């Protein structure tokens, strides 16, 4: 049987501005999104038995139709014109409900993989359109480059000038619901219309844009996030920020050895999930 094994990377937000609440309940956002080398592994296999099957086996991640990867495959299957079946096995390495976009990345990877396995010939733009019907971060992972993301996350502009950075990712093992964070957010006023740069020559340039409007909401409930930020800076990070709706925090480093040293020192004195990873370019 034809089969593909693909990596589905996590993301962090170097910037997350919430511009306004929309009448449809979504928020207009402005984000700088960066893929990182912390990946789920997804094996997609064509089958003679029609329909989609998803197995993951990780606590907190549903098998079957409630898995966003199932919905991704199911959205493309009717386009094949064949009685095809698809089996998907997910090896989960990305912390769940963590602000790292794991589910969205799994869905995007399934869109790309099923398009290839079934020979559908859909363009990246078309796959991004299907992706946004599954989740607001899915188009970014289909796009596959560091990006400025606007709208609800689906209007993407590539950012080519990014330095080769290292990140230390720290997750305190508390699942946080993205819906809860947005519901708890109190918007303070109209967006002031400022612009953010699209050219970053070094780690200091990236540190200059670090900001996340959701941080105060999640830190308000889980103060440990503030503590992790301080630990990262004390361990040598040039800057530290909560990613997405949290609770994961990342610290930025120019060099691999510094990042690995900081990760080791934080891991040895906590029971948090800690890893040093490369930013993907
Ligand atoms: P985002 O920042 O995009 O909201 P996240 O990293 O905070 O993402 P996910 O790990 O994507 O959150 O998971 C959110 C919820 O979605 C989980 O609680 C889980 O039950 C459900 N889910 C469905 N499919 C998946 C999947 N393939 N991987 C992870 N979670 C999934």
Q: Other C-beta atoms within 10 Å of 22: how many?
A: 11
Domain boundary among 158, 178, 207: 158
User: Which residue among 36, 102, 172, 245 has the greatest number of ligand 1 atoms within 8 angstroms of its CB, and so is best to mutate?
Assistant: 102
Residue nearest ligand 1's atom 2 by CA: 99
**What's the chain's average pLDDT?**
95
How many domains in the chain? 2
Same domain, 195 and 178: yes
Residue nearest ligand 1's atom 27 by CA: 103
**122-133 mean pLDDT:** 98
Report residue 67 as tokens. Answer: 């898995």
95 is in an annotated binding site: yes
Phi then psi for 96, rounded to 5 degrees?
Answer: -95, 145
CA 279 to chain centroid, in Å, comes to: 12
Work out the widest C-alpha separation in the chain, in whole angstroms: 57
Same domain, 116 and 247: no
Q: Is residue 141 over pLDDT 80?
A: yes
Residue 66 alpha carbon, nearest atom of ligand 1: 23
Residue 244 alpha carbon, nearest atom of ligand 1: 2
Task: Give tens-digit pLDDT for 44-98.
Answer: 999 999 999 999 999 999 999 999 999 999 999 999 888 889 999 999 999 999 9
Which residue in 174, 167, 165, 171 sits closest to 228, CA to CA?
A: 171
Same domain, 67 and 116: yes
E-strand ranges in the chain read 3-21, 27-47, 51-55, 85-91, 147-150, 155-158, 166-171, 211-212, 239-242, 249-253, 273-278
Ligand 1 mean position to 101 CA, how many Å?
Answer: 7
Residues 6+ apart with CB under 8 A from 188: none
Same domain, 78 and 195: no
- Report residue 17's pLDDT band, with 50, 70 and 90 as the boundaries: very high
96 is in an annotated binding site: yes
Question: Which residue, chain included where needed, has tokens 């699942």?
Answer: 175
Same domain, 211 and 154: no
193 is in an annotated binding site: no
Q: Other C-beta atoms within 10 Å of 177: how many?
A: 11
Looking at the annotation, which residues are catalytic?
Answer: 11, 137
- Report residue 133's pLDDT band, with 50, 70 and 90 as the boundaries: very high
Same domain, 126 and 256: no
Residue 95 alpha carbon, nearest atom of ligand 1: 10
Task: Measure the CA–CA gap between 11 and 39, rounded to whole angstroms.
Answer: 10
Ligand 1 mean position to 102 CA, how many Å?
Answer: 6
Q: What is the pLDDT of residue 152?
A: 96
Report residue 62 as tokens. Answer: 């549903």
Query: CATH number for the domain including 19?
Result: 3.30.230.10
Domain that holds residue 44: 3-158
């Amino acid at each position: 049987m034809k089969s593909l094994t693909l990596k589905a990377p996590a993301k962090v937000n170097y910037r997350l501005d919430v511009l306004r609440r929309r009448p449809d309940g979504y928020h207009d956002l402005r984000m700088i999104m960066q893929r990182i080398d912390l990946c789920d592994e997804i094996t997609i296999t064509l089958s003679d038995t029609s329909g989609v099957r998803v197995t993951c086996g990780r606590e907190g991640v549903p098998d079957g139709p409630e898995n966003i990867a199932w919905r991704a495959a199911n959205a493309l299957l009717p386009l094949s014109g064949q009685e095809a079946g698809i089996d998907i096995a997910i090896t989960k390495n990305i912390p769940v409900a963590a602000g790292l976009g794991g589910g969205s990345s799994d869905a995007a990877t399934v869109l790309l993989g099923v398009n290839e396995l079934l020979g559908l010939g859909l363009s990246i733009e078309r796959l991004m359109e299907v992706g946004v019907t599954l989740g607001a971060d899915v188009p970014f992972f289909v796009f596959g480059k560091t990006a400025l993301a606007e709208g609800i996350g689906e209007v993407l502009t590539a950012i080519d000038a990014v330095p080769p950075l290292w990140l230390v990712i720290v997750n305190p093992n508390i699942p946080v619901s993205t819906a809860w964070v947005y519901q708890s957010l109190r918007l303070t006023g109209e967006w002031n219309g400022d612009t953010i740069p699209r050219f970053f020559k070094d780690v200091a340039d990236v540190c200059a844009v670090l900001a996340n409007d959701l941080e105060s909401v999640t830190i308000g409930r889980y103060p440990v996030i503030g503590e992790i930020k301080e630990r990262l800076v004390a361990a040598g990070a040039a800057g530290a920020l909560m990613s997405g709706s949290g609770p994961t925090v990342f610290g930025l480093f120019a060099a691999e050895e510094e990042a690995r040293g900081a990760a080791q020192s934080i891991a040895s004195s906590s029971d948090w999930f800690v890893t040093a990873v490369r930013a993907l370019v």
